[in-house]
Amino acid sequence: MIEIKEVSKHFSGQRKVINQLNLSIPDGKIVGFLGPNGAGKSTTIKMMTGVLPIDEGTISLDGFDIEKKTLEAKRIFGYVPDRPDLFLRLKGLEYLNFIADIYQVPKEVRQERIERITKQFSIYNSLDDYIQSYSHGMRQKIIVTGVLLHDPSIWILDEPLTGLDPKSAYILKEMMREHANKGKTVFFSSHGLEVVEQLCDEVAIINNGELLFYGTLQDMKETYESDDQSLEQVFLELTSNE
Ligand SMILES: Nc1ncnc2c1ncn2[C@@H]1O[C@H](COP(=O)(O)OP(=O)(O)OP(=O)(O)O)[C@@H](O)[C@H]1O
């Protein structure tokens, strides 16, 4: 479970980019975090994962405050950033072993997981190549593999499906569903309603750093949809900055 309480953030010389955000992400559900460019999704996710300091408020992961119990919190989540350009000078396999070492994944377990997951993502034959030479989608897949390798209970994914080919996107969506079905937490950001409609149990919509809606798609339909407005039109209207 992820608890975001009264969180605000501003960057120097700017207005608040996150304003008094409250959000409770339950276990056992896939929750989509939706909003247009610049809405504040990545900033929120970076605060959740301890990448950015929180100006005001608190965020806890399974009860561990990310700023006060940082190590404990970091042990239990896996994070896929929006830009997967990390550790470019390592070979794919070196990166995965590095992650497995940090999280102390036993040798036999890591071998089985690396082989299974990278074969599913069709990157098994590229593990001896440098990440530098990988395409955007391959870089994303190696980072997702690194996350799955240590089997964290909370998954925090920043636009995980952007740049993935349809087969890999399908596999990742299946994995997200399986993880939520095990009673674990899956939180991911996206621009579009389509993937959220396919995949999510609940959706949080943010714009200009403020939460506009949180609930099931059914709630959203019941609250906003009408005969002359589809859910997509509702979403576009809610998040319009014009
Ligand atoms: N390091 C930074 N310094 C200054 N402003 C920043 C910084 N990072 C983000 N911002 C600003 O904070 C706001 C929210 O940005 P953020 O990246 O969180 O949005 P987003 O919803 O993830 O957008 P996108 O969908 O385009 O990735 C934007 O106005 C952005 O310009």
Q: Is the CB of 39 under 6 A from ligand 1?
A: yes
Which helix (DSSP H) or strand (DSSP E) does residue 63 occupy? Answer: none
Tokens of 69: 């119990």
Say if residue 126's pLDDT is above 80: yes
Cβ of 40 closer than 6 Å to ligand 1, yes or no, is: yes
Residues 160 and 169: their CA atoms lie apart, in Å, by 8
Cβ of 170 closer than 6 Å to ligand 1, yes or no, is: no
Region label for 80, one of left (φ > 0), alpha (ψ between -120 and 50) or beta (otherwise): beta
Domain 2-238, CATH homologous superfamily name and number: P-loop containing nucleotide triphosphate hydrolases (3.40.50.300)
Nearest-CA residue for ligand 1 atom 7 is: 11
The per-residue pLDDT for range 49-98, each reduced to its tens digit, is 999 999 999 999 999 999 999 999 999 999 999 888 889 999 999 999 99
Q: Is the pLDDT of residue 35 over 70?
A: yes
Mutate to test the pocket of ligand 1, among 17, 51, 207 (most ligand atoms within 8 A of CB): 17
DSSP state string for 129-193: SBGGGS-HHHHHHHHHHHHHHT--SEEEEESTTTT--HHHHHHHHHHHHHHHHTT-EEEEEES-H
Predicted-complex ipTM score = 0.96
What are the residue ranges spanned by the domains of the chain?
Answer: 2-238
Task: Give the per-residue pLDDT at 241.
Answer: 67
Find out whether the beta carbon of 11 lies less than 6 Å from any atom of ligand 1.
yes
pTM here is 0.92
